[in-house]
Amino acid sequence: MRRAMLLAGILGTLIAGVPSAQADTDVTRRDLSLPASSARTESDVRHKGLPVSPARTEARVRYEGLRLPASSARAVDTDVHYQGLRIPVPAGWEIHRLGPGSTDCLRFDRHALYLGPAGGNQRCPAHAVGRTTALHVEPLTEQTSALVKGLLAGSGGERTGRPPGLRVKDPAAHEIRIAVPEAGALITGSYGPREEELERILARITVDPPPAEGTAGSAAGGAGGGITGGSAERRSGVAHRRRWIKGDGFDTCNAPSLDAMHAWRGEFVAANIYIGGVSRSCPDGRLTHDWVAAVRSMGWRLIPTYVGPQAPCGPHRINFTPDSATDDGKDSAKDAVRRARLLGLSRHSPIYFDLEAYSRHDPVCRQAVLAFIDAWTRKLRRLGYVPGIYSSLTSGIRDLAEAKGIRKPTAVWFAHWDEKADPRGDKAMERKWWPGHRRIKQYRGDHLETHGGYTLNIDNDALDGYVR
């Protein structure tokens, strides 16, 4: 603890002298010889990315409007200069420039480098699952400094030589964060089943001034551095805090801005929040203790959701196995509770485990799923929280409903995209399965909705179930 406090103090001292976000983000290509005909401006240059992909016929360098032949793209080794850092970008990655007005989605389920603070109203998919190697680099502000200090206090930290700074590894989230006070930057890296690729990239990041303006490596442009029953609660502002609720809800990948939540409050009574897990695609972003307190003061009820390892017969890369299912279920429950407490979600709050669809035709896999959820349920109850499960009606929900000899989650959130907002009247969901006020139905998938001038990408939910 003394070591953590010391490191946090060092960080707090250094941040006072942190430089502001640089006005430019520079892209340098090494060992690349372009014919004159290759450099031309495109009218469809997109603002948000720079893919360098040998798999495509042509690689677009969107910052500078260059179109490269496929043979040249294979030789590209891209460096990006941002916040005084030189960051290597592997071939095939996109570069997204974020900022206050950006709607690009910061997500860790695809290979990408994100530069700058995420925008206030990201256009994220409503439901994204999975993690792979990706990077987010943003200015080291008071808010991001507080985040690092919290991690240091919780798990300790270590100094790292390259890039020079304070490093915190979070194995439960498959994330590594490095605060680099010399550059005034916070680096967040995610990884999938293995961390080696991320470690190689992090080891190549250096503190380095950008190329002089006007050179071939300078980039143009600045760096952005339903159902009834809920209407009374919808009008009342602060909802009556019973354990369950009836009404309309939505789920989306990242926590919307407080302005958006205020604008949407007239149409919905509940929203989900993804609080953690190795398969969570979107990072915390603005999801903090203060954000939770603010939206709850508006009257919102919350559906805390944890996206941990997935079924071994599913399509996702980070899985539990038949041998590890019980231990992974317990570990997921412990990590979910730790993260819930950090967000101010106290005992007796429900936490739903997000179990994506999988094949029911594999009996070994199905048994592993049941062992995992049994362990998740037992451990969460022992820790004082209400165990819940989110899954497809045709896989996880049916397997759990029909299972014998296991402890089943108290609350269920089932996906059945028939566009009927009827958690209790769905004919595919037998009445004896989770009776009473213990059901949430996700009845419509990914789509855009606009309320009060704010547009979000959401799934729709009909609630007659447990919330916080």
The mean pLDDT value for 53-72 works out to 31
- How far, in Å, CA of 146 to CA of 12, rounded? 9
CB 186 within 8 A of CB 144: yes
- How far, in Å, CA of 80 to CA of 22, rounded? 13
Angle formed by the axes of helices 2-15 and 142-155, to 10°? 170
Name the band, by pLDDT with cuts 50, 70 and 90, for residue 152.
low
Which residue type is seen at 64?
Answer: E
Each residue of 197-219: pLDDT tens digit? 999 999 888 886 544 433 333 33
Name the band, by pLDDT with cuts 50, 70 and 90, for residue 153.
low
CB 249 within 8 A of CB 463: yes
The mean pLDDT value for 45-57 works out to 35
Closest CA to 355 of 304, 319, 303, 404: 319
Q: What is the number of helices (H) and of strands (E) in the chain?
A: 10, 21
Helix (H/G/I), strand (E/B), else coil: 458: strand
Each residue of 376-424: pLDDT tens digit? 999 999 999 999 999 999 899 999 999 999 999 999 999 999 999 988 8
Burial annotation 38-69 (CB, 10 A radius, 16+ → b, else e): eeeeeeeeeebbbbbbeeeeebbbbbbebbbe
Q: Indicate the pairing of strand 175-180 with strand 112-115.
A: unpaired
Predicted local distance difference test score (pLDDT) of residue 256: 92
CB 369 within 8 A of CB 358: yes
Closest CA to 314 of 246, 274, 369: 369
Residue with tokens 């203060």: 290
Q: Indicate the pairing of strand 185-190 with strand 175-180.
A: antiparallel
- Reply yes or no on whether the pLDDT at 179 is more than 80: yes
- Reply yes or no on whether the pLDDT at 449 is more than 90: yes
Each residue of 240-282: pLDDT tens digit? 457 888 999 999 988 999 999 999 998 999 999 999 999 988 8
Backbone angles phi, psi at 299, to 5 degrees: 105, 0
